[in-house]
Amino acid sequence: MEAPRDRHLPLHGEQALGRDAGAARAARRLVTAWMGDAPLSDGVKGDVALVTSELVTNAVLHAVGDDLHLRLRGAAQGGYVLEVEDHYEGWPSLRAPDSTRAGGHGLRLLEELTSAWGVRATPTGKIVWAAFGEAGELGAPASPSGADAVQSPAAALRAETGRFRALSGSAPAPQRLVEVRLLGVPLTLFAAQLAGHRELLRELQLVARAPGRSDPPALVRLAHDLAAYKGMGESTEEERAAAAARGEPTLDITYQLPVDAGPACERMMHLLREADTFAREHALLVLPAPAPEVAVREWFLCEITRQCAGAPPTPWDGPSHRLQPRDPR
């Protein structure tokens, strides 16, 4: 397909990045910031971030030179064109899935998540571009209307309670609610953990929807099993954001949850440990979570499990900030 005529597309952001292990994560953060308050669903923004990670990782692994350039341009009716420019004339080595190697999601990511993609030669190398079609195709949310258009914190908490109930496989009959108190939630670290968790689930959604021949059956099963857990932490998003805006490093959070939320969280914890193993083995594009993020995730899930079984709350006693980046490839 013909490449977009970039000179005629408005530039939302441009940044030179070092060709190093931290480039993909830095690129994801930049692209997310450049999209800002664009009328796109979180899922679509996640798609753009995931493709960014793939293209930048490919440039780091296969191009030459010390740097690469990342750009995000606006397209017709709210679409975007992502560009990654490097100093290597060879075409990208985006592996198609095969039966002998784990991973190989690159081509499938581009085909599944973009409306078009291609390569354009430059005097010093090439640009790999990916287009995310018109706003309607990107899943832009409808304009709010009516009193229910904006979900209140109370409604969000009810939704989270219902999600735990559904995950545990229990009957829809009313259950005894348990007060679960999470004491000293480290806001910065917890937010980083949630961001990584959502990236993981975005990729697993793709694996579940269109598994490749190289994907181990255990990974495909895990992708299906974890699909129901994508709402982790949503009900306290506003509360945590407000506390962070006030400069508070930690926050005490209280849930009213059905008693069977405990077994559901215990199962989720084991599934995420399995996902960590696949990430470390490079069967996934997402980077393995750093130890502090794993620790706060396990504390969060263990506290819900323990307190639903009648145990008293145990405050978080680890670091308040992420102390290390995600492991490089």
The mean pLDDT value for 76-102 works out to 66
Specify the length of the chain in residues.
329
Residue 147, token pair as written in the block: 């009193």
Domains of the chain, by residue range, sit at: 6-132, 153-308
pLDDT at 103: 40
Give the single-character DSSP code of 16.
Answer: E
Buried b (16+ CB within 10 A) or exposed e, 35-48: beebebeeebbbbb
Judged by average pLDDT, the poorest of 58-72, 145-159, 304-318 is 145-159
- Characterise 293 by phi-psi region: left (phi > 0), alpha (psi -120 to 50), beta (else): alpha
Are 95 and 106 in contact by the 8 Å Cβ rule? The answer is: yes
Closest CA to 251 of 190, 182, 184: 184
pLDDT at 189: 93
| pLDDT tens for each residue of 120-149 | 888 888 899 988 865 333 333 232 233 322
Give the single-character DSSP code of 81.
Answer: E
Q: Which fold has domain 6-132?
A: Heat Shock Protein 90 (3.30.565)
CA distances from 94 to 25, 57, 107, 108, 185 (A): 18, 10, 6, 9, 40
pLDDT at 316: 97
| pLDDT tens for each residue of 192-201 | 888 888 888 8
